Amino acid sequence: KNQVEQSPQSLIILEGKNCTLQCNYTVSPFSNLRWYKQDTGRGPVSLTIMTFSENTKSNGRYTATLDADTKQSSLHITASQLSDSASYICVVILTGGGNKLTFGTGTQLKVEL
Amino acid sequence: KAGVTQTPRYLIKTRGQQVTLSCSPISGHRSVSWYQQTPGQGLQFLFEYFSETQRNKGNFPGRFSGRQFSNSRSEMNVSTLELGDSALYLCASSLTTGVDQPQHFGDGTRLSIL
């Protein structure tokens, strides 16, 4: 079982609408949680980085939230644009030394006219 | 400032061969990490190099190896290629090592094994 679960697996929304992507994790203790956007054929690009003590972090139309008690994070996209069509990946980075990155398998978002 | 550059972008090999992939980090970045991305497994960490030393390693067989040069450029080598090695190999650089360091990814090398 993947230690970082993302839902939904895929999502289609109309341009201009809002959407929320979910990330549930079981790994701990963690140092920080990151959301990446990956366009088709490109490398991932960082959207937000949150430490375990932060509840929310925004980057333009992207807002990430974190609930360390329930081990849940969400990425909210406001007023979606066609260019938001991409895969969104949640990554949990563990503490304790070493590069312990645990990746979710991503949510594939498609924004349509 | 130029981003992370990976070469080649695409590569086709046959089973049993070996391959070397190259990654040039952002100027001034000294840490380079490698990842494998497949549709089934998603992104998986291979290893990280900092100051020409391997700092961390993921759970991959010894066929996967890497090195880093004094200019921080890094290479990854895969020997005795298997069909399951077909994947997108991504390189990411950061200023220094450490879990709080933001990483900047290249666009990857798409490796196909026939």
pLDDT in tens, A15-63: 999 999 999 999 877 788 999 999 998 999 999 999 888 999 999 999 9
Residue to substitute from B103, B104, B110, interface A, most A β-carbons within 10 A: B103
Q: Which residue in B55, B90, B105 is closest to A99 by CB distance?
A: B55
C-alpha distance from residue B5 to each of A38, B2, B59, B74 (Å)? 16, 8, 25, 11
DSSP-derived 3-state class of residue B85: helix
What confidence score (pLDDT) does residue A2 get? 60
What confidence score (pLDDT) does residue A97 get? 54
* Long-range contacts, B50-53 (Cβ 8 Å, 24+): B50/B96, B50/B97
Residue in this structure with the two tokens 């992104």, named with its chain if needed: B43
Q: What confidence category does residue B69 fall into, taking pLDDT thresholds of 50, 70 and 90? A: very high
Contact residues, chain A, for B97 at CB < 8 Å: 99
Q: Is the minimum CB–CB distance between B60 and chain A shorter than 8 Å?
A: no
DSSP-derived 3-state class of residue B43: strand
DSSP-derived 3-state class of residue B17: coil
Q: What confidence category does residue A1 fall into, taking pLDDT thresholds of 50, 70 and 90? A: low
What are the two backbone dihedrals, phi and then psi, of residue B83, each rounded to the nearest 5 degrees?
Answer: -55, -35
Contact residues, chain B, for A103 at CB < 8 Å: 42-44
- Whether the CB-CB separation of B26 and B3 falls below 8 Å is answered with yes
Average the pLDDT over B74-78 and give the result: 98
- Whether the CB-CB separation of B30 and B72 falls below 8 Å is answered with yes
DSSP-derived 3-state class of residue A70: coil
B57 min Cα distance to partner chain A (Å): 8
Q: Is the minimum CB–CB distance between B86 and chain A shorter than 8 Å?
A: no
Asked if pLDDT for residue B10 goes beyond 60, the answer is yes
Burial class (CB in 10 A: 0-12, 13-18, 19+), A76: middle
Render pLDDT for A65-108 as a digit per residue (tens, 0 to 9).
999 889 999 999 999 999 999 999 999 988 765 557 889 989 99
C-alpha distance from residue A15 to each of A21, A79, A83, A93, B67 (Å)? 16, 7, 10, 32, 45
Cβ contact, residue pair B42, A31, below 8 Å: no
B102 min Cα distance to partner chain A (Å): 8
What confidence score (pLDDT) does residue B2 get? 79
